[in-house]
């Protein structure tokens, strides 16, 4: 049976490597031994060892986000496999190509009380784009060909639009340890060509008719096509449109034309700018924008013509779309610019630019008067100090909202990543560290304290694997975002169930896990730290106050509203 196992796992792994898969998160286990040894023997794949399956899967997800290509996560049977579910959910909703391989007992050991055996076939349900349950065939000529074909299907399906996770449940029989050298035979996998859907002429003609000569707001939401920012900038320039650029779109920072980028779109929407400068058309690309005031305004105004360009899925939670264009967004914007629709009328673009300048100046003046550390200014420091080409991984909840509100437009490029598919805080450190491991650029993680607490053991992984990254933990001792939500009025129960103070000293915790750590209390010290790439993981704890943070955000919104009133 060992020959049967390795006669399949070795060609499977070799085929995955031949198709370009270069990284795998691996956790210890007995049943997964044939997979672990096949990965260890494959020079084309780096096997990243982890102690925890949840962290391993998020680490692989971070690699896949950074490389825009599938990474593997491999584990043993039982609850170990179930630990992959959170990353599978994020990968499905975040459109991240991910290959999950779970080792399992053979079919005759299912449902008979065998230890560490659960129903793993279809374990991830709707979270997986495709699931396959397989026991390797007996040794023979067919096994390498079957393995190579399966590898190609796993890669191709994970990449097909919308990208997402696929699951192979591999039923392996004992013995699990080889009794000799691993087999050398392999089959050439079929080629996998990237999918790209260009719009047809009729679609561009109809879209041009919808936007021609009208006040259009181009909203670039979270997405990961590096060609989109330049395409959006060119289209906006041709049509005289403002771009509400979510940082996760890539359009907020880079070498493309930033002249149409509205960096303060979220504060402007929160301060009531949209009723004064209402678009006739909202043209969206990418996911739902991080800015709740922005997307809520769109959802509350179905009379505004709303268009989404997206090759897959149905991203319309407000049920307000008038037109869905099923095509690649970057190619569509390029074609639309070439079609030369009439530009927006009058002072439409200039009004937005003037409002953006006024809002940005009001924000800067407000923050200049508030002592550091405070949470908006942490983001402002990152926007000023991160080196060109840096990778910035941002946690969900408050950090990503603050980055949307306070990270400036800048010509020095920054690669933003975040787990905004399902917007969970779990697995963030592992995701960011996975991305940092393969980024080939200075890496910084911006985390809230609850995100860091949730994935604290990832710090030990960072130390053990020597992953160089700055990890900025904004520590307000609990759930700061709930101070902005209706739950804040539940005074009798708020701290116990939503504020949830924990009192952890992250500097001490990081030190115990082998990571260098410092508490940062001066703006200049944070700027100096994030401006350089450390040689090893380094945690920077910034202490803030939850209630004071909520008050500061309200102060910023008042300052922006006052600035707009003075226009």
Give the CA diameter of the chain: 80
- Give the C-alpha separation, 35 to 6, whole Å: 8
- Residue 2 has a pLDDT of 64
Q: Nearest 10 degrees: CA dihedral of 501, 506, 508, 514?
A: 140
Please compute Rg for the chain using Cα positions. Answer: 25
Contact 70, 130 (CB under 8 A): no
- Cβ atoms of 123 and 188 closer than 8 Å: no
Residue with structure tokens 């920072």?
253
Task: Tell me the sheet residues that pair with 216.
Answer: 281
- pLDDT tier for residue 196 given thresholds of 50, 70 and 90: low
Q: What pLDDT score does 108 carry?
A: 74
DSSP 482: G
Q: Whole-angstrom Cα distance, residue 120 to residue 135?
A: 13
**Cβ–Cβ < 8 Å for 192, 152:** yes
159 pLDDT above the threshold of 90: yes
Residue 315 confidence (pLDDT): 87
Residues 10 and 38: beta-carbon distance below 8 Å: yes
What digits encode the pLDDT tens for the residues 509-543? 999 999 999 999 999 999 999 999 999 999 999 99
Q: pLDDT per residue over 235-246, tens digit each? A: 999 999 999 999
The model's confidence at residue 141, banded by pLDDT at 50, 70 and 90, is low
Q: Give the Å distances, CA to CA, from 145 to 6, 34, 72, 185, 423.
A: 14, 18, 20, 10, 39
Q: Which residues contact 296 (CB under 8 A, 6 or more apart)?
A: none
296-309 pLDDT tens trace:
999 999 999 999 99
Residue 256 has a pLDDT of 96
Q: Which pLDDT score, from 0 to 100, does residue 195 have?
A: 65
Inter-residue contact 52 to 75 (CB < 8 Å): no
Q: What is the mean pLDDT of residues 489-510?
A: 94
Residues 453-471: pLDDT tens digits?
999 999 999 999 999 999 9
- In the structure encoding, which two tokens stand for residue 491, read together? 């005074």
DSSP string for 422-459? S---TTHHHHHHHHHHHH-S-EEEEEEHHHHHHTTTHH
CA distances to 25, 73, 155, 263 from 227, rounded to whole Å, are 29, 28, 22, 19
Q: What is the pLDDT of residue 339?
A: 96
pLDDT at residue 541 in the model: 98
Among candidates 89, 99, 107, 101, which has minimal Cα distance to 29?
A: 101
Asked if the bond preceding 373 is cis, omega within 30° of 0, the reply is yes
Over the range 508-542, which residues count as b (16 or more CB within 10 Å of their CB) and which as e? Answer: ebbeebebebebbeebebbbebbbebbeebbbbbb
pLDDT at 114 over 80: no
Mean pLDDT over the full length of the chain: 94
pLDDT at 88: 98
Average pLDDT over residues 320-346: 95
Instruction: Decide if pLDDT at 472 tops 80.
Output: yes
Domains annotated for the chain, with CATH where assigned, are 2-171 (3.40.50.970), 201-346 (3.40.50.1220), 370-565 (3.40.50.970)
Average pLDDT over residues 397-422: 96
Residues of the chain above pLDDT 70, percent: 98
The backbone torsions φ and ψ at residue 133, rounded to the nearest 5 degrees and listed phi first, read: -115, 125
Residue 238 CB neighbours (<10 A): 16
| Half-sphere exposure of residue 171: CA atoms within 13 angstroms, side-chain side | 17
Helix (H, G, I), strand (E, B) or coil at 150: helix
Give dist(CA 186, CA 141) in Å, integer.
10
Backbone angles phi, psi at 57, to 5 degrees: -65, -40
**Summary count for the chain: helices (H), strands (E):** 22, 18
Structure confidence by residue, pLDDT tens digits, 271-297: 999 999 999 999 999 999 999 999 999
Cα dihedral 340/342/347/351 (nearest 10): -60
What percent of the chain is modeled with pLDDT above 90?
Answer: 87
C-alpha distances in angstroms, 341 versus 241, 260, 478?
12, 17, 50
- Residues recorded for the chain: 567
Window from 187-196, 415-424, 507-516, 547-556 with minimum mean pLDDT: 187-196
Segment 28-55, tens digit of pLDDT: 999 999 999 999 999 999 999 999 999 9
Distance CA 213, CA 198 (A): 24
């Amino acid at each position: 049976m060992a020959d049967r196992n390795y006669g399949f796992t070795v060609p499977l792994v070799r085929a995955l490597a031949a198709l370009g898969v270069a990284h795998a998160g691996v956790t210890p286990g007995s049943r997964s031994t044939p997979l672990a040894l096949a990965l260890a023997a494959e020079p084309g794949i780096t096997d990243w060892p982890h102690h925890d399956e949840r962290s391993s899967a998020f680490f692989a997800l971070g690699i896949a986000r950074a490389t825009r290509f599938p990474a593997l996560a491999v584990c043993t049977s039982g609850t170990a496999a179930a630990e992959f579910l959170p990353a599978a959910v994020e990968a499905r909703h975040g459109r991240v190509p991910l290959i999950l391989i779970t080792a399992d007992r053979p079919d005759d050991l299912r449902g008979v009380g065998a230890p560490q055996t659960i129903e793993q076939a279809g374990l991830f349900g709707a979270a997986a784009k495709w699931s396959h349950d397989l026991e390797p065939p007996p040794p023979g000529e067919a096994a390498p060909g079957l393995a190579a074909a399966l590898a190609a299907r796993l890669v191709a399906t994970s990449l097909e639009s919308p990208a997402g996770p696929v699951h192979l449940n591999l039923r392996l029989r004992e013995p699990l340890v080889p009794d000799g050298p691993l087999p050398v035979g392999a089959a050439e996998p079929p080629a996998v060509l990237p999918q790209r859907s260009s719009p047809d002429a009729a679609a561009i003609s109809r879209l041009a008719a919808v936007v021609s000569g009208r006040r259009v707001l181009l909203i670039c939401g979270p997405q990961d096509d590096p060609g989109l920012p330049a395409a959006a900038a060119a289209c906006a320039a041709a049509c005289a449109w403002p771009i509400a650029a979510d940082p996760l779109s890539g359009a907020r920072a880079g070498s493309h034309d930033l002249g149409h980028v509205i960096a303060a779109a979220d504060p402007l929407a929160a301060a009531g700018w949209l009723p004064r400068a209402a678009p006739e058309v909202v043209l969206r690309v990418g996911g739902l924008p991080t800015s709740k005031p922005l997307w809520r305004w769109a959802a509350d105004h179905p009379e505004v013509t709303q268009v989404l360009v997206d090759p897959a899925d149905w991203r319309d939670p407000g049920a307000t779309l008038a037109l869905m264009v099923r095509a690649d967004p970057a190619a569509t914007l390029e074609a639309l610019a070439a079609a030369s629709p009439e530009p927006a009328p009058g002072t439409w673009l200039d009004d937005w630019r003037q409002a953006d300048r006024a809002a940005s100046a009001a924000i800067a003046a407000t923050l200049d008067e508030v002592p550091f550390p405070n949470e908006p200014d942490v983001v402002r420091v990152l926007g000023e100090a991160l080196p060109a080409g840096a990778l910035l991984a941002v946690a969900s909840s408050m950090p990503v909202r603050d980055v949307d509100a306070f990270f400036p437009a800048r010509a020095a490029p920054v690669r933003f990543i975040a787990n905004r598919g399902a917007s969970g805080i779990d697995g963030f450190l592992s995701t960011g560290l996975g991305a940092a491991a393969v980024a080939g650029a200075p890496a910084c993680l911006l985390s809230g304290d609850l995100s860091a607490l949730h994935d604290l053991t990832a710090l030990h992984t960072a130390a053990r694997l020597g992953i160089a990254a700055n990890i900025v933990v904004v520590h307000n001792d609990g759930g700061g975002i709930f101070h902005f939500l209706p739950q804040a009025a539940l005074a009798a129960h708020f701290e116990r169930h939503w504020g949830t103070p924990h009192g952890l000293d992250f500097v001490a915790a990081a030190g115990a896990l082998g990571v260098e750590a410092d508490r940062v209390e001066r703006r200049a010290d944070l700027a100096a730290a994030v401006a350089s790439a450390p040689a090893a993981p380094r945690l920077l704890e910034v202490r803030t106050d939850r209630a004071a943070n909520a008050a500061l955000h309200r102060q910023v919104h008042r300052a922006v509203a006052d600035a707009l009133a003075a226009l």
